[in-house]
Structure 1
Amino acid sequence: MTTIIAFILVFGLLVFVHELGHLIFAKRAGMLAREFAIGFGPKIFSWTKNETLYTIRLLPIGGYVRVAGEDPEIVELKPGHHIGLEFNHKQEVSKIIVNNKSKHPNSRVIEVERADLDHSLMIYGYEVGEEERLSFPVNEKAMYVMDETETQIAPYNRQFASKNKRQRAMQLFAGPLMNFLLAIFLFFVLALIQGIPADNAAVGTVQKDSPAEEAGLQSGDDITAINGTPVQTWEEFTAIVQDSPEEELQATIVRDGQEQQVPIIPALVESGDQKIGQIGVTLAMEKSFLGAIPYSFQQTYEFGTLILTNLGQLITGQLNINALSGPVGIYDATDQVVKTGLINLIQWTALLSVNLGIVNLVPLPALDGGRLLFIGVEALRGKPVEPQKEAVVHFIGFALLMLLMIVVTWNDIQRLFL
């Protein structure tokens, strides 16, 4: 149960932050954000605020922001269609009753001749049985009413396509950007809790009954050389130790300002297919509020670089597709992380956030990166790609992504349960 709750909270946070970025920049650009959804499938509960429907859905494996113009409009008023109209105090159409007009006895029923709800915001038509052509101005925030559900109309100036390239690109990039910012924040919190790694090879903790304890190493010791070879970083020190299992090493340390020589024999430990040396010490951590700021950016950058490297290896065939994990694999990894404590769970969440941000920027159809690519093509061509062609590309890309997800999930199931 703890793992399930942790998985839902971690995924929910990642999706919420990602979609919040899309929502904020959509609204800043003047786009009509119809829905902000966390999860997929049936709605658990929902509420409407400032033109946007906020929903929590049953399956906690994603989310979306539905912006006007990204999908075909919900209702198209065609010639001959009978609709009911309700008006505001300015005699502008405030509600368009699409069906069940009998439930709105005060509405004015007309037969549509033509309607332009994108630009001129006008409806032309005739009252039933009359020949006089009438025109009705429509309020820019008028509502369609279908099956007693109200949906706001979307004039062209509120649609995604009406905005300039910079606004559209920023709205798409904002989701991954928020994931990067979340990772930076989480690494900052971690740095405040546990400190940041020391710049030099300084000992933090010494494990009980370890080679380091037997040799007399203590917390705070600064290791400056091994077998006479100067050591400046922790990475240099650990590399020598790992390469020297069961070999005596002469460590030069500085303790309380005094230099000492300490002989250490690393224990032989099997790590996968390798046999390495370990002495049972950790790197010293330093508490620093100001130091935590660059550290959080550095960690985000390093994890991001690692993820990009793995993506490159996947594309070139150096990394097998079986190395990928879907929701099942991530759930299993989350289960293992939860058992190790809150600190590791926070770090795991930060890593997933960086991963989500980078993967969404991959220039594949249906992903944010794919849509950004189309805006880039538009900038080069001087005109946008035809919406129908772009929609087909995104549809094919989405289908292929779903197929990849099925394959990855099946591999996860085989690896974990079969």
Structure 2
Amino acid sequence: MNIFQSIAAALSPAGLLWTLLIIGVATFLHELAHYALARWQGVAVRSFSVGMGPVLLRRHWRGTEWRLSLLPIGGYVEIDGMAPEEGPGGEYRQPTRGFAALPTWGKVAILLAGPLMNLVLAIGLMTATFTAQGIPAPDRARIEAVLPNSRAQALGLRAGDVITAIGGRDLPDTYTANGGPHAGWESVRDTLVTAGRKTLTVERGGQTRQLSFDWQPRVNGVQQRLGIQYGPDVQPASVPVALGTSLRTTAEAMPQVLRAFGGLFAKFFTLNLSQDQNVSGPIGTAEIVSRAAALSPWALVQVATLLNLSLAFFNLIPIPGLDGGRILLVLVGALRGRPLTLAQEQAINVAGFAFVMLLTVFVVVRDVSRFF
């Protein structure tokens, strides 16, 4: 099997379509937010493209040329006054109208609108998920299935039982094991690593009971299993509670996402092609979406949530060419009391664009290299 067959086997047609749809909607709303904030401040928008590359369809409406482009990856808006303007002699000069004529707060508002739209979309999707499916409780382990002829079945455990304590101690919200933090419900597994008398406090139908048993992790060299499949307990949530949990989850996710991007940059500068679970390229993303599409619609919603969070945080990184980099240049100009010269700004943006393109190529190469 060659590399192309390997990649095709890892993806599904439905997964590819869902990937394009999720990324397309996230990008469209991102650019729409830029467009809306520009028009709200009276700045013209010359064009709005869904997709990149050659234009397939175009239509003029409300002073903007709306385009559908060939490549379904991203999109863009051309806001008046952001690019250099041509002078009478054909030379290019610093723009003086539109975006360039706005006060600092107006420029920052336009640039910040895109990432904030993705952030709001992620929080909205997260809130919808928590409202519909409930909020996972990290300190409660719900038994999802009991394997037949297992120790758990002999003890009387049933699917739907909730383990709330082990050895008389409540399950923690989080704990550290094997070099990293884990949710408290995962501590059930590590409790069975050691031998001895075990006591599980179990809730069933509103009543609490305790099950005690002697446990040996290995018998005659064979690893023993309790025989349960379990996960976090899920508590019903109203919309306000779900929204509060979504905001808190987003705040907690921010440093994790930034660390993941930091790790990616470190691997980029050292040309380290080793894989990790934190950052995926286009093929890895399509694989994740393919698996989610095979599970449930809510799994797709969770993937869309993560993609929007990643898009929001990545665009806020102060790299020239990204929204965060443009915001940085606007703020530098405000602190200097005058904007950067056209030559300075073009040099910085070209360098930033080149860096982003090289980073993109690196991510794609790293993504494909695991199939060799």
Class of the TM-score when normalised by the shorter of the 2 chains: 0.7 to 0.9
- Is 1:280 paired with 2:220? no
Q: Distance in 2 between matches of 1:376 and 1:168?
A: 10
Q: Distance in 2 between matches of 1:315 and 1:380?
A: 29
* Structure 1 segment 16-415 matched on structure 2, within 5 A: 16-73=28-85, 77-78=88-89, 156-157=96-97, 159-198=98-137, 200-201=139-140, 203=142, 205-209=144-148, 212-218=152-158, 221-233=161-173, 235-242=183-190, 244-245=192-193, 247=195, 249-255=198-204, 256-263=206-213, 279-289=228-238, 290-315=240-265, 320=272, 322-323=274-275, 324-415=279-370
Report the residue type matching 1:9 in the other structure: L
Q: Distance in 1 between matches of 2:250 and 2:313?
A: 11
Name whichever of 356-365 and 313-322 sits farther off.
313-322
Report the residue type matching 1:281 in the other structure: Y
Q: How far off its partner does 1:229 sit?
A: 2.9
CA distances 1:217-263 after superposition (whole Å, capped 9, x unpaired) = 34554534212333354833422423533746321234433432344
* Percent pairwise identity: 31
Report the residue type matching 1:370 in the other structure: G
Q: How far off its partner does 1:403 sit?
A: 1.6
CA distances 1:49-72 after superposition (whole Å, capped 9, x unpaired) = 211111121111111111112223
Residues 143 and 231 of structure 2 are in contact (CA less than 8 Å); yes or no, is this contact kept in structure 1?
Answer: yes
User: Residues 38 and 213 from structure 1, CA distance in 2 versus in 1: closer, same or farther, beyond 3 angstroms?
Assistant: farther
Q: Distance in 2 between matches of 1:26 and 1:333?
A: 35
Q: Which residue of 1 aligns with 2:18?
A: 6
User: Residues 16 and 261 from structure 1, CA distance in 2 versus in 1: closer, same or farther, beyond 3 angstroms?
Assistant: same
CA distances 1:152-172 after superposition (whole Å, capped 9, x unpaired) = xxx954x21100000001110
Unaligned runs of 5+ in 2: 1-12, 175-182, 219-223
Residues 243 and 276 of structure 1 are in contact (CA less than 8 Å); yes or no, is this contact kept in structure 2?
Answer: no
Using structure 1 for the length normalisation, give the TM-score. Answer: 0.71
Q: Distance in 1 between matches of 2:102 and 2:306?
A: 33
Matched residues, number:
335
Higher relative contact order (CA 8 A, sep 6+): 2
User: Residues 34 and 219 from structure 1, CA distance in 2 versus in 1: closer, same or farther, beyond 3 angstroms?
Assistant: same
Q: Distance in 2 between matches of 1:17 and 1:267?
A: 53
Name whichever of 49-58 and 175-184 sits farther off.
49-58
Larger radius of gyration: 1
Report the residue type matching 1:280 in the other structure: Q
Q: Which residue of 1 aligns with 2:180?
A: none
Residues 242 and 278 of structure 1 are in contact (CA less than 8 Å); yes or no, is this contact kept in structure 2?
Answer: no
User: Residues 279 and 265 from structure 1, CA distance in 2 versus in 1: closer, same or farther, beyond 3 angstroms?
Assistant: farther
Q: How far off its partner does 1:44 sit?
A: 2.3
Name whichever of 275-284 and 11-20 sits farther off.
275-284
Residues 185 and 232 of structure 2 are in contact (CA less than 8 Å); yes or no, is this contact kept in structure 1?
Answer: no
Query: Does the residue aligned with 2:192 lie in a helix, a strand or coil?
Result: coil
Unaligned runs of 5+ in 1: 80-117, 119-154, 269-274
Instruction: Report the structure, 1 or 2, having the larger helix content.
Output: 2
Residues 15 and 62 of structure 1 are in contact (CA less than 8 Å); yes or no, is this contact kept in structure 2?
Answer: yes
User: Residues 237 and 195 from structure 1, CA distance in 2 versus in 1: closer, same or farther, beyond 3 angstroms?
Assistant: closer
Using structure 2 for the length normalisation, give the TM-score. Answer: 0.80
User: Residues 54 and 229 from structure 1, CA distance in 2 versus in 1: closer, same or farther, beyond 3 angstroms?
Assistant: same
Report the residue type matching 2:187 in the other structure: A
Q: Distance in 1 between matches of 2:23 and 2:228?
A: 37
Residues 37 and 63 of structure 1 are in contact (CA less than 8 Å); yes or no, is this contact kept in structure 2?
Answer: yes
Q: How far off its partner does 1:42 sit?
A: 1.4
Residues 247 and 266 of structure 1 are in contact (CA less than 8 Å); yes or no, is this contact kept in structure 2?
Answer: yes
Query: Does the residue aligned with 1:280 lie in a helix, a strand or coil?
Result: strand
Query: Does the residue aligned with 1:198 lie in a helix, a strand or coil?
Result: strand
User: Residues 201 and 71 from structure 1, CA distance in 2 versus in 1: closer, same or farther, beyond 3 angstroms?
Assistant: same
